[in-house]
Structure 1
Amino acid sequence: MAVSAASTRRSPPALLQVYSDVSAEWVSGDNSLIANWSTTTDSIITHQVQLTTPVPFSEINDHTQYGSAFYSTPNTASATFQSGADVVVRAQFINSGALPNARDTNFRVVSNNWPVFALARDLGTVTAATEPVVFSVGHFRDPVIHSPAQPTSSRHSNAFARAQAFDTKVQNDANKISADYTGIVELSIRQAFGTIEFTISKNADGSFNANDIRPRKQLRYLTLCQSEISSNGNMNTVDVIFPAWPLFLYTNPAIGKYLLEASFRYQATGQYPNKFSIHDLGARCPNATGHNDGNDEHIPVEESGNMIIMSLSYAEKTGDHSHIQQYSALLDQWTQFLIEDSLIPANQISTDDFAGPLANQTNLAIKGIIGIRAMEEIENLLGNTAKAVNYSAFASDYVGQWQTLSASSSGQHLTLSYGNSSSWGLSYNLFADKMLKLNLFPESVYTMQTAWYKTVAQPFGVPLDTRHTYTKSDWEIWTAGIMTDSAGRDLFIGAVKRWASDGLSSQPFGDWYETTDGRPQGFRARPVVGGHLAYPLMPFFSRSSLVRSL
C-alpha cells in the first residue's frame, strides 16, 4: 500500500508524520498462543512475526496456523520502527511523532500486552503532493497447499504503477453506472483479491518452477487457491468462485481459469464418484485433498450449472478454448445431469445453503436451464453441431415449461418454488442469460420482475426470498443487472451502498445482511463480493462474436 499527502493550506506550513502497525493477531486465530518476532534493518525495514509452535496446513477462525507475517517499508532517513505493546508503541508515536527504533524481545501470548509491529515516516513540511510512502504487508507460507500430488508454494511482485492505472480504469467504468456503484466496487475488489493465493511448485533441486502457474497436463490440482472464508472454510468452493466470477472476468480471466483448472483436474481423474459437479476441493483450507468418497456438500444443480456457465464465459471472453476442449466429457456429463434434474429440481440446497433445502426452486431451475443452453454454445464452439442442436431443443422446451411452473397465480412475479404463489425471491440467476446474451428467457420475465421488486423493497434492499427478510449483496447486484430500467437498477445499487456505509458492522465488507435495519447476519471478508463487478461485464459478450476463434 502507498500513502501520499498534500496540504490544503498555505500558512502555516503543514508538518506530517505517518504511522502504521500490524499486530501478532495476523499469525493465529487463537490469541492464547505464543508468538515470536524479529526486525531487520537493511535497505528495507522488515518486521517478521510467527507462531512459536506452528501447525502446518491448519486454520483456526479462518486464520492460518503456520507461516510468517511480514510488514516492511524502505529504510530511509525519515523512517523509524518499534515493536512492543500496542498502548506503548502507539503512545510513543502520538507523543513524539517518531519511533525509537526499539525491539521488544519478550516473546509472549498474542493477547498478552498485544504486541504490535510499527513503522513510521516523517514527511516534514508538506505543500505539494509527497512521494508515496510505501508499506508492504503480507503473509508467507511454504508450502501453501496440502495436495495429494505435491505441496505448492507462493510468490508475489510489486505492481504499484499498474495498480494506479487499474484504479483509474475501475473508476471510469463504474462511474458510468453511478457514484454509489463506484464506491461498492472499489471496496469489493481489494477484499475479493485478498481471498486468493497463487501457488507454484518446486523443482527437484528445490528451486521454484516459475512456469508452474500455467495449467499443464500433469496431475497437480492446485494452481490457484481460494478459501470459503467466514462460513465453513472449504477449499476452492465452486459456488463461491461463481459469485466472485465477474471480478476475474473483468480484471484478468486467466485467474478464473486457474481456479476452474483445479476443480477440472481433480474430477477428470475419476476419483470423484458423483455424476454432478463437486462442491469443493477440500473440507478445510489449505487441504486440497478432494472427496473420493463423494461426501462433499451436495449442491448438484447449482455447481453443475456454475461450472458450465463459467467455462463458456471464459472461452467467449478470451477466445481460449483449451478448457472446453480438454474437459468436454465432464461438461457433457454435468449437462446430462441438468437435463435430468434442473427443470423440476429435487429437494436440495442452492448456494444460499443457510436458507435451507427446498424442492422445485424457481431460481435454481433458471441456473440449470441456462447451463444446458450454455452447453449448446460450447458445443458450437467445438464444432459439434448435432450435440448443440440437441441441447438447444432441451433448453427451449424447458423454458416454455418453466414459465408455466414458476408463475404466481396473480401473474405479478415469479415464485420462490413452484406452486407457492405467495412466495418470491431474487431471480439473480437470470443474470447469466443477460451477461452471455443468450436471450433464452423472454423479456416479459425481466419486465415483470423489475416492477415487482419495487413493491417489496425494504430500507436496505430486497429480501433474498420470502422465507426471511435478510438478503445478499452479491445477488442484489446481479439482480440489478437484469432490471429493465435505471430506477430498478439503482434501487439495488443504492441499497448495497447504504448497507456498506451504515456503520453497523465493524467487520470487513459482509455480503449477508438484514434488509429492514442494515444489521449484518454473520458473513464477512468473503470473496463473493467480487460479484459486485457484474455490471462492467455486460459489454464484453455478443452472440455475433462467438465464431471468432473457431
Structure 2
Amino acid sequence: MHRYLFILYANILAFWLPSLVQSFDFSRNFTPSTYPLAVRSPYLNTWIDATGANGTVLSHDWPKHWDLGQAMGWCGMARIDGTVWQWLGPPTPDSNSTINIPGARSSTLTPTRTIFELVAGPVLLNISFFNPIETEDLTRQSIPFMYLSLDAQSLDDQEHDVQIYSDISAEWVTGDRVNFTVQWNTTFTSSTVFHRSYLQNPQSMEEVKNQAQDATVYYAMELGQGISWKTGYANITRPLFQDQGRLDNETDTSFRVVNDQLPVFGFAVDLGILKSTASSLTWGLGVVRDPIVRYAASPGGTQDQRPYFYSDPRFSSQQIDDVIDFFMQDYESGLQRAESLDNRILQDVLSISGGNEEYFSLVAMGARLVLAGFDITYSIKEGATDIKAFMKNTGIGSESNNALGLYASLPAFVYLNATWMSYLLDSSMQFQNLLASQDNYAASTNLGNYPNATGGKIQGSAVEDTSSMLITVAAHARISKDTKIISKYYDLLKTWTKYLLERSWPPINQMTLDRKGTTKDDYTTVGLKGIIGISAMARISAALGFSNDSEIYLSNATSFIQDWQTKTVKSDHITMEFKDEESFALLYDLYADTLLGTNLVDQTVYETHESFCQSSLSSKKYPFGIPVSSYISETKSMWSMFTAATLKNNQTRDNLIHSMFARATFNQSSQRNFPLIYDSASGLSQPAEGANPQQGGMFALLALGASRAIDTKTTGSPTSGPSKSQTKAGKIVGIVIGSVGTLALIMTATFFFWRRKNLLAQKHLAVIPNVFQAEPLGDEEVERGERPRLSRSHFAKGTNHSSTSPSSSPEQPQLETTQLRNDLINLRREMEEMRAQGYYETMPPPQYIAD
C-alpha cells in the first residue's frame, strides 16, 4: 500500500513540477554599481556605470572599458510611431526629432546575461546583453563575441510602427583617440552583414589605456528584410535614423582618428507594424586579436599563440567571415544552453547555500569577471594542437597567470570546467620549469604582463605563491581526475615542496600580501598556507602512486600543523603574528584544507575562527566584510568568500556573504565594478582596481559542494546505512510522507512550505560537480560527462513583466517560496534518476530518513 501511494505521489509531482520549475524567475534584487555588458575577453570587457542613473542605467552615460576611464560608444534607439527613444547611450544632438528616455522597469543579472526591461511609451523593450559561457565546447568558449538582443512587446494591446537602430563607434578600436587612424569596411556574406574596424597601423601586443592596439572590431547582424546600414560621422548617422527611421547604405571612406568627427558603424531595422517581435533582433559584437599572446615557450624563444577557435575544422578557411556566420546562426541554440546553465547554477546555489539569493548574484558577477580575463589559445607543436590558456590580472598588475590569481579563481574553474584550469596551469608551469634551476620556489608571476607572456619573473611572497600553485594543482587533479599536469611537472612540484619544508614553518623571512612590504618570521597565515601546501603535495604523490613521498610530506605537515596550532590559536581568535597575541587574522586558507579534503587542521581551529568571524560581524564595525588582518582595514572579497565556505553556522555564513553583497551593490559613489580589495568599513577601493578575474572565488561554496560530491561518489557513505536505491527512495518518501491523509496536490505544496518554515535547520548539500573528462593535451577532444539540466527559462524572452526599477529596492521574494521550488527541483531530479535506473521496481517499503 505504501509503495503504491508513493508512486502515486511521485507521478502527481512529476506532472506538476515542470510547470513550477519553468516559472522559476531569477532574482531582481541585485543592483550593482556597474553592470557588465560585453565581457568575453581581456579586451572585450565593457561595463556601464549605474551610479547616479536614477533609473535610466543604459541611457545616462556611455558604456566604458573596464577601468571606467575610456568611453566605448555604443548607441541604441527605437522609433515607435515616429517618436524616438534612446535605449542605449545618451542622446545625440543635431536631429529634428525630440529624443525620449525610456523608463527602467527591471534589471536582471545571471551568469550569462544582463537583462533590462525598458518602457518606451506604449512598448516594452527587453534588452539583453548575452555573453555565452560554453562549458562543453572549447571552440565556442574561445570565440570573443557576445550578443546584444532586443524584443519588443505592446503594452496597450495595440499595433505600433517600430524601427530599431544600433551602432558602435571607432572608440572600440584604440585607446589612443588622437594619434592613430582608424579604417573600416562593411562586408556581406550569404547570411550576415558586418562592419569591420581596425587601425591602419596596428601595434602588435601593445596597449594604450588598457585597450589593445592590434584588435579588429566587428559589429554584425543576420541578413533579413528591413535592414539598412551606414558608416560615418555620429552626428550625421544617428540623426538620419531619428528623422527617417532608416539608413542610406552609404560608406564614409574618409578614414581618420577617433576624435575627428567620431566614426560610427550602424544598422537600422524596420520591424513594421506589430504587437510583439516574433523573434529577437540580434547583433553580434566581437574584438578579435590574432595572435592573442606572445609566449615564452622555450629558453630564449617565443611563439605566438592564436585564438583557439581557428584550430576547429569548421573554420578551416581561416576566414573570420565563417566564424561570424557560425556565431550569428548559433544564437538560438546558444541561448538555450545559456538558460540551462543559468538555471543549473541557480539550482546548485540554492541547494548549497540554503536558498541564499544574494549568493547567486555574487556568483553571477564572479562568472563575468573571471571569464572576461580568460583567453584560450593554441599553437602547432610537433604536428599537434598545443592548447594554452592565459588569464590577465586585470586592474592590479596585468600579469599573466599569476600564482595568486590562479588560486583565487580556482573555484570558478573547478565548478565550470576543471579542464580549463589545466590549460592555465600548463602555460604557467611550462615556463616555471625553465626557472627551477634558478629558484626552488614558485614565482608570484613569471610570464610577464599580458599579452606579452615572455618572462619577467616577480619575486613576491615565496611561501604563499608556492603554496598557491601546489594547492591549485592538487585541487585540479582531485576534481578533474586528470593526472597529466601533476605527472608532467612532478619534479618541479617536488622542488617547490622542498622549499616549503624548509621555509614554511616557521615562515622564515617571508612576506604576505595581507601586510605588504613587511618581512617577518612569524606570520601565522603564511605558515598555515605553507603547511597546507605540503599536505597538498602529499595528495599529489599519493595520486601518482609515490607512497613514500606522500608519507614523508604528510608526516611533516602533520607535525608542523600541531606546532602551528599550539603557537597561534588563542581563546577567541587566531593571531596574525604568533609573537603578537593581540593580532588577528582571517584564516581564509582553511578553505584549501576543506576543498582538498585533507582534514589536516583540527576542528577546534575552525570553531575558534568561526566564533571570531561571528563576533566581528556582530560588532557592526565592518559592514563590508572582516579585515584580512589586524594590521590593515582592507578586506578582500575572494578571501571573504573562501572564509564563508568554511563556516558551519548558516547565519554567520550568510552575514559574511551579505557584507560582500553590500559592497557589490554599493552605489553611493562610482567605486568600480565590484572591486577585489576595499576598505571593510567605508567600502572605498583603489581608483584603478576592478574587473579582476580573481572574483572567480565567488564560486567557493559551489566548488566545495563539487568536491564533497566527488568524495561521496568515490568513497561512498562514511557510515553503514541504506543502499543507494533505498536512500534515494527514502529521501523522497521523507519529503512526501508528511502529506499522507490527502491526495490533494495543494496539500503537498503546503507541507513543503510548512517544513521549510519550521524546520530550517539547514546543512550544506553536495552539488553535482560540473566535472568533464579532461582533454588530452595535443589530441582530439574526448567525450565529456553530462550534468542534469533544468527546463528552459522563459524570462530571457521578456514574458514576465513585473514592475521593478533597478534604481530602487525591488520587492523581496519570499524565502519559503524559493526553498519550496528548490526542494521540488531536486525532487524532480531524484525521481528522474530513479526512473532511469529502475528504482521503482526494486524499491523497499518506505521509511523516513531525516536529512
Q: Does TM, normalized by the shorter one, top 0.5?
A: yes
* % same residue: 27
- The change in CA–CA distance for 1:472 and 1:254 in structure 2 (over 3 A counts) is same
* More displaced 10-residue stretch of structure 1: 475-484 or 11-20: 11-20
Q: 2:392 corresponds to which letter in structure 1?
A: S
Match of 1:386 in 2: 548
Cα distance between partner residues in 1 of 2:634 and 2:450: 28
Cα distance between partner residues in 1 of 2:166 and 2:582: 53
Structure 2 residue corresponding to 1:110, chosen from 258, 266, 279: 258
Residue 272 of structure 1: CA displacement? 5.7
Match of 2:222 in 1: 74
- The change in CA–CA distance for 1:188 and 1:99 in structure 2 (over 3 A counts) is farther
Match of 2:411 in 1: 246
- The change in CA–CA distance for 1:447 and 1:77 in structure 2 (over 3 A counts) is same
Cα distance between partner residues in 2 of 1:314 and 1:234: 22
Q: 1:255 corresponds to which letter in structure 2?
A: W
- The change in CA–CA distance for 1:517 and 1:330 in structure 2 (over 3 A counts) is same
- The change in CA–CA distance for 1:203 and 1:325 in structure 2 (over 3 A counts) is closer
1:430 aligns with 2:577: no
Match of 2:128 in 1: none
What are the ranges of 5 or more consecutive residues in structure 2 without an aligned counterpart? 1-146, 296-300, 310-322, 717-772, 774-851
Residue 338 of structure 1: CA displacement? 0.9
- The change in CA–CA distance for 1:547 and 1:487 in structure 2 (over 3 A counts) is closer
Residue 454 of structure 1: CA displacement? 3.1
Q: How does 1:119-134 map to 2 (within 5 A)?
A: 119-124=267-272, 127=275, 130-134=278-282
Give the secondary structure class of the aligned counterpart of 2:678: strand
- The change in CA–CA distance for 1:143 and 1:541 in structure 2 (over 3 A counts) is same
Match of 1:39 in 2: 186
Give the secondary structure class of the aligned counterpart of 2:340: helix
Q: 1:48 corresponds to which letter in structure 2?
A: R
- 1:474-516, Cα deviation, whole Å (9 max, x unpaired): 1111111111211111112112222112223364332122222
Cα distance between partner residues in 1 of 2:699 and 2:273: 40
Match of 2:175 in 1: 29
Give the secondary structure class of the aligned counterpart of 1:258: helix
1:450 aligns with 2:610: yes
Residue 429 of structure 1: CA displacement? 1.1
- The change in CA–CA distance for 1:12 and 1:544 in structure 2 (over 3 A counts) is closer
- 1:389-424, Cα deviation, whole Å (9 max, x unpaired): 11111111111111122234xx21112222223322
Residue 251 of structure 1: CA displacement? 0.8
Cα distance between partner residues in 2 of 1:434 and 1:14: 58
Match of 1:5 in 2: 151
Q: 1:518 corresponds to which letter in structure 2?
A: G
Cα distance between partner residues in 2 of 1:346 and 1:28: 47
Structure 1 residue corresponding to 2:498, chosen from 324, 327, 336: 336
- The change in CA–CA distance for 1:309 and 1:24 in structure 2 (over 3 A counts) is same
Give the TM-score normalised by the residue count of structure 2: 0.58
Cα distance between partner residues in 2 of 1:468 and 1:8: 55
- 1:306-327, Cα deviation, whole Å (9 max, x unpaired): 1211111111112111111221
Task: Give the conservation status (yes or no) of the 8 Å contact 2:532–2:592.
Answer: yes
Match of 1:212 in 2: 385
Cα distance between partner residues in 2 of 1:187 and 1:126: 35
Task: Give the conservation status (yes or no) of the 8 Å contact 1:450–1:483.
Answer: yes
Match of 2:530 in 1: 368
Match of 2:453 in 1: 288
Task: Give the conservation status (yes or no) of the 8 Å contact 1:3–1:132.
Answer: yes
Cα distance between partner residues in 1 of 2:424 and 2:592: 19
Structure 1 residue corresponding to 2:307, chosen from 154, 159, 167: 154
Q: 2:594 corresponds to which letter in structure 1?
A: K
Cα distance between partner residues in 2 of 1:336 and 1:362: 20
* More displaced 10-residue stretch of structure 1: 90-99 or 365-374: 90-99
Residue 18 of structure 1: CA displacement? 4.7
Structure 2 residue corresponding to 1:195, chosen from 360, 373, 378: 373
Cα distance between partner residues in 1 of 2:526 and 2:633: 20
Q: How does 1:131-530 map to 2 (within 5 A)?
A: 131-147=279-295, 148-156=301-309, 158=327, 160=334, 161-176=336-351, 177=353, 178-201=356-379, 212-214=385-387, 223-269=388-434, 273-291=438-456, 295-351=457-513, 355-359=516-520, 360-408=522-570, 411-457=571-617, 458-503=622-667, 504-505=669-670, 507-521=672-686, 522-530=688-696
- The change in CA–CA distance for 1:475 and 1:263 in structure 2 (over 3 A counts) is same
Give the TM-score normalised by the residue count of structure 1: 0.88
Q: Which has the higher strand share?
A: 2
- The change in CA–CA distance for 1:2 and 1:65 in structure 2 (over 3 A counts) is closer
Cα distance between partner residues in 2 of 1:423 and 1:99: 67
Cα distance between partner residues in 1 of 2:701 and 2:418: 16
* RCO comparison, higher one (Cα < 8 Å, 6+): 2
- The change in CA–CA distance for 1:68 and 1:330 in structure 2 (over 3 A counts) is same
- RMSD over aligned CA atoms reads 2.8
* More displaced 10-residue stretch of structure 1: 382-391 or 517-526: 517-526
Cα distance between partner residues in 2 of 1:64 and 1:265: 26
Cα distance between partner residues in 2 of 1:91 and 1:498: 41
- 1:312-360, Cα deviation, whole Å (9 max, x unpaired): 111111211111122111111111111111122234433557x433423
- 1:87-131, Cα deviation, whole Å (9 max, x unpaired): 554555555554444433333333344433334444555656742
